[in-house]
Structure 1
Amino acid sequence: MKRSLLGGLVLAACSTHSFALNILLVNDDGLTSNIKALYDELKANGHSVAVSVPCSPQSGRGGAIVMYSPTTISVDNDKQIAAENGCHNGAAPIGAPAAGGFTKTGYTNGNWNYVHGTPVMATAYGLDVVAVKQWGKAPDLVLSGPNEGQNVGKVVVHSGTIGNVQFSAGKGIPSIALSADTNTVDDKTLNNANSAIVAKQTVVLLKELQGKAGQGPLLPKGITLNVNFPKNLTSSTPFAFSRIGTYDLYNFKFKVSKDDKGVNQYGLGYDIAPNAPTAAQAADESAVMQSKIAVTAMQVAYDQRPAAQEWLKIRLKNLFK
């Protein structure tokens, strides 16, 4: 009886250990309530976590690979940091190295890192510098987000949140993009209650993936996930299959307006989809995420399916001789 009990304890311990992952957290928003909540929740569940985020908010940068400062943080190429006198929410001040550990009190344990560049540059720093220093190897998983706003439909091609996982998944690392509603923002205390719910539901998803993967990789090679949480998220909100599809909540367009002096102002505008999704669009992310947690499988990079490859060979066979 004692031997059986001991054996069970050993197996349980091994099982627990095998499910502890080395996780790199990245995003395109910098230091936020969402990433703080997810970091805390993952640590509470036994995972080893490192963070590498942009110094300043970088929404819409997609897969851009740009450093704004080659040596120290300055406002020359990134005016966003001028208002905060440094990185978002005090992560590091102007004049600090262009990449490094947070200087903000409470975030100096070596797990929190920033890069004064685009989201993908912060992800690259996390993979090539932070992960190597912390674990001596690549992470088991990259989680990008949770973003402060959903990334659904065709907007995903412009998203820094998505750009991060395309970059890391392209290196063969299981990667998941996470996006929540804007009601998770809290730049005063970094302690939004909605952020905590998003974090807990993320761990629910992670445990399910781990349970199915066993000792294998969390996701098959060439597949990454896009996960969108609805505005009215609760601990009982169900998960649902979704696809990027053709239904888009947002119709982005170039916007020209005038200020109070009549001077033209140029920027990005958008319209909300005027029509409800059709029956054929019911499984599209933009429809599903309005009431459920939408989980979508994405391919890595832009390579087409074999059928389309054959179509191209036939269509241009005279050129491909």
Structure 2
Amino acid sequence: MLRTPGRLRLGISAAALAAAASPAHALNVLLTNDDGCAAPGITAVRKALLAAGHRVITVGPASNQSGSGAAYAVPDGSTRLVVVPLAGSADTFCVHRVKAGYAAGGALNATNPDYLGSGSPVDATAVGLKIVGPEHGFAPDLVVSGANFGENLSDSIPHSGTVMNVLFAARRGVPAIALSVGVDFAEAGKGFPATLAAFPKAGAFLVRVIASLEAGRASGRPLLPAGQPLNINYPVAGRQDPAGVRMTVAGTVDSFTTAYRRNPDSTVSIEVGAPDAEPKALAGIAETPAFLSGFITISPLDVDFRPSAEARQRFHRTHRGLTALTP
């Protein structure tokens, strides 16, 4: 369960975002994603961050791993990771998974029986924080994940490698921001040109967010509160430009439903359905209604999985008998 803070005190306003054009000082940014180390979204964000003067090291999965959530290579001795520079780059790295018997320099594709496939998003983030960063004397001030190909809102958060990357980083004390750009499903047969066109705009917006956070933080303090990464979603459908910026919280519904249908051959089709309605109590603050209205949404997440003290005490009172069970 992900809990959102009761108060949204990020110091970001529309005016501040409009005014913030450059960073107060250059940040070390570890850039990652779930679409792959050379995907157009991460490439656009990298370009925007570098143009703003930040120092960037990119570490991503070797290929598209969308929807893999927090999956990672477990330490059971059967799997290793291979981290290789992207062709033509000295500071962009791609993460693969191989069997324990893999020989150094072996082919990183299906022709090699010891090749398992791409690393996961969290594999890439972990390697960036624990291996690539230290090897390059690079201590990240910020982890950025994205820009993702498609929105990651509320109900989709547990499935999103993009968002799980920033939760992984934040639980280790590193400020982190997930950035996703929406898709218009009407463009599915055309390659989603509106999303591709929006990637540079979303990257430029992220730079303004970072500059605004920088301008508002006290000297010596982290860019974001510990354990509270941001989830930013940038819309594209039906608008030339977003309607504005809304401060939101993660709600309970996504921007679409996943509809399942049994076929005569016993397979199950996976289709896109209309979005569900957000409960009335959340409709005014949740990110999905604002996103569907054309607004960029900025939602803080809370990586503390513990329930509130009140909920914990209530559970203990009503389930005391659990402690008397035979081990």
- Asked if Structure 1 and Structure 2 have the same fold, meaning a TM-score greater than 0.5 normalized by the shorter chain, the answer is yes
Q: What SS does the aligned partner of 1:29 have?
A: coil
Alignment of 1:2-17 (within 5 A): none
Q: Residue by residue, what CA displacement relative to the aligned partner does 1:72-92 show, whole Å, maximum 9, x if unpaired?
A: xxxxxxxxxxxxxxxxxxxxx
Q: What SS does the aligned partner of 2:301 have?
A: strand
Return the match for 2:89 from 87, 108, 120.
Answer: 108
- How far is the alpha carbon of 1:157 from its aligned partner? 1.0
Structure 2 residue 23 is the aligned partner of structure 1 residue 24:
no
TM-score normalised by length of structure 1? 0.74
Q: Residue by residue, what CA displacement relative to the aligned partner does 1:257-300 show, whole Å, maximum 9, x if unpaired?
A: 35xxxx33346444222658758513211111121110111111
Alignment of 1:261-276 (within 5 A): 263-266=265-268, 268-273=270-275
Alignment of 1:94-243 (within 5 A): 98-103=82-87, 107-115=88-96, 116-134=118-136, 136-182=137-183, 192-215=196-219, 216-231=221-236, 237-243=243-249
Partner of 1:79: none
Which amino acid is 2:249 matched to? R
CA distance in 1, matches of 2:175, 2:70: 18
Which amino acid is 2:247 matched to? F
Q: Residue by residue, what CA displacement relative to the aligned partner does 1:32-90 show, whole Å, maximum 9, x if unpaired?
A: 211111101111111100111111111111101138x946xxxxxxxxxxxxxxxxxxx
CA distance in 1, matches of 2:282, 2:171: 31
Partner of 1:8: none
Q: Residue by residue, what CA displacement relative to the aligned partner does 1:9-38 show, whole Å, maximum 9, x if unpaired?
A: xxxxxxx99621100111110122111111
Return the match for 2:51 from 44, 48, 55.
Answer: 44
Structure 2 residue 306 is the aligned partner of structure 1 residue 297:
no
Q: Report if the CA contact (8 A) 1:197-1:235 is conserved.
A: no
Which amino acid is 2:158 matched to? V
CA distance in 2, matches of 1:234, 1:46: 28
Structure 1: where are the runs of 5+ without partners? 1-15, 72-96
Which amino acid is 2:25 matched to? F
TM-score normalised by length of structure 2? 0.73
**CA pair 47-234 structure 1, distance change in 2 beyond 3 A:** farther
Percent identity at matched positions? 30
**CA pair 29-17 structure 1, distance change in 2 beyond 3 A:** closer
**CA pair 40-238 structure 1, distance change in 2 beyond 3 A:** same
Q: Report if the CA contact (8 A) 1:239-1:292 is conserved.
A: yes
Deviates more, 1:111-120 or 1:277-286: 277-286
Alignment of 1:281-320 (within 5 A): 281-290=283-292, 291-320=294-323
Q: What SS does the aligned partner of 1:50 have?
A: strand
**CA pair 277-230 structure 1, distance change in 2 beyond 3 A:** farther
Q: Residue by residue, what CA displacement relative to the aligned partner does 1:173-210 show, whole Å, maximum 9, x if unpaired?
A: 001111102369998x9x94321101001111111111
RMSD: 3.1
Q: What SS does the aligned partner of 2:310 have?
A: helix
Partner of 2:18: none
Q: What SS does the aligned partner of 2:204 have?
A: helix
Q: Report if the CA contact (8 A) 2:235-2:242 is conserved.
A: no
CA distance in 2, matches of 1:180, 1:145: 9
Alignment of 1:57-68 (within 5 A): 57-66=64-73
CA distance in 1, matches of 2:295, 2:201: 14
Q: What SS does the aligned partner of 2:205 have?
A: helix
Q: Provide the aligned length of Structure 1 versus Structure 2.
A: 271
CA distance in 1, matches of 2:158, 2:165: 11
Q: Report if the CA contact (8 A) 1:277-1:287 is conserved.
A: no
